[in-house]
């Protein structure tokens, strides 16, 4: 029962169907700096704050002229504070958001960090939308779907889930023993993943004698 919510440069999908607009505003006030003055637009038409959200609705919060609203290419720290509020920006900085040099970050990075505010398991440095389906032998990257062998899919998922931590060949076999058995991990990664048409192999780094890790796109 989800609703797509757009606020400035941020687009999120949240399970808020059945709730009134004014309740969602309260929930997002501290996280995304949504103010009471924001106007709610549902599926392209303006609605009151009493409107009850339906599954599949597209909700956009817009502001009167002069308030920050749309996407732009780069955000300064001052703009981030204006948009999110000082406390959320401090949380993001403590979690590793870089605020120098100016301009601070691109629009897609702002969207990724806003997702992190809702879900601390979300990796804000990973600006690619990646979903690995091991048993279906598919990997989805930013709306594109690629076939991938089951052992390679398991290796890829293991490395992505590790969020930058090293994983040895034995670590990966222990994680997915049903998919990764006797095949050489070195060969699988260097001949399979490194050449995979998705391009995800470019983000796998080997550390001699220790294993491999996922290096998020920058």
If asked whether residues 153 and 206 sit together in one domain, one would say yes
Check which CATH number belongs to the domain holding 31 and give it: 3.10.20.30
Q: What is the pLDDT of residue 129?
A: 73
* Statement: the pTM of the whole predicted model exceeds 0.75: no
Do 11 and 41 lie in a common domain?
yes
Range of the domain at 57: 3-62
The answer to whether residue 135 is domain-embedded is yes
Q: What is the pLDDT of residue 71?
A: 41
Backbone angles phi, psi at 150, to 5 degrees: -55, -45
Q: Is there a single domain that holds both residue 172 and residue 96?
A: no
User: Is residue 143 located within the same domain as residue 189?
Assistant: yes
What are the angstrom distances between the C-alpha of 97 and each of 90, 100, 110? 9, 9, 10
Q: What confidence category does residue 127 fall into, taking pLDDT thresholds of 50, 70 and 90?
A: low
Same structural domain, 135 and 205: yes
Rounded alpha-carbon distances, angstroms, from residue 119 to 45, 116, 161: 29, 5, 15
Which is higher by pLDDT, 125 or 66? 125
Picking from 62, 89, 108, the residue at the C-terminal end of a domain is 62
Task: Please check whether residue 69 lies inside any domain of the structure.
Answer: no
What is the average pLDDT value for the chain, to the nearest integer?
78
pLDDT (tens digit per residue) in 156-214? 999 888 877 889 988 998 988 888 866 577 778 888 888 899 888 888 888 887 889 88
Give the total number of structural domains in the chain: 3
Helix or strand holding residue 80 (H, E): helix 77-84
Residues 149 and 155 sit within 8 Å (Cβ to Cβ): no
HEC sequence for 168-204: CHHHHHHHCCCCCCCCCHHHHHHHHHCCCCCCHHHHE
Do 134 and 207 have their domain in common?
Answer: yes
Give the Cα separation of 44 and 81 in Å (integer): 28
Q: Are residues 168 and 102 part of one domain?
A: no
């Amino acid at each position: 029962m989800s609703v797509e919510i757009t606020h400035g440069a941020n687009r999120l999908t949240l399970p808020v169907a059945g709730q009134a607009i004014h309740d969602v505003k309260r929930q997002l006030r501290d996280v995304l700096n949504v103010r009471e003055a924001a106007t709610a637009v549902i599926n392209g038409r303006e609605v009151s704050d009493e409107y009850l959200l339906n599954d599949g609705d597209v909700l956009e919060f817009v502001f009167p002229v002069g308030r920050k609203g749309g996407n732009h290419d780069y955000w300064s720290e001052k703009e981030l504070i204006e948009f999110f509020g000082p406390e959320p920006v401090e949380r993001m900085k403590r979690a590793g958001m870089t605020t120098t040099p100016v301009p601070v970050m691109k629009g897609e990075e702002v969207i990724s960090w806003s997702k992190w505010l809702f879900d601390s398991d979300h990796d804000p440095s990973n600006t690619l939308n990646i979903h690995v389906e091991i048993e279906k032998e598919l990997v989805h990257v930013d709306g594109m779907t690629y076939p991938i062998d089951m052992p390679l899919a398991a290796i890829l998922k293991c490395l992505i889930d590790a969020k930058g931590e090293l994983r040895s060949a034995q670590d990966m076999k222990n994680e997915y023993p049903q998919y990764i058995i006797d095949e050489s991990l070195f060969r699988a990664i260097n001949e399979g993943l490194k050449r995979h048409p998705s391009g995800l192999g470019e983000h796998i780094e080997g550390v001699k004698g220790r294993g491999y890790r996922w290096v998020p796109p920058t």
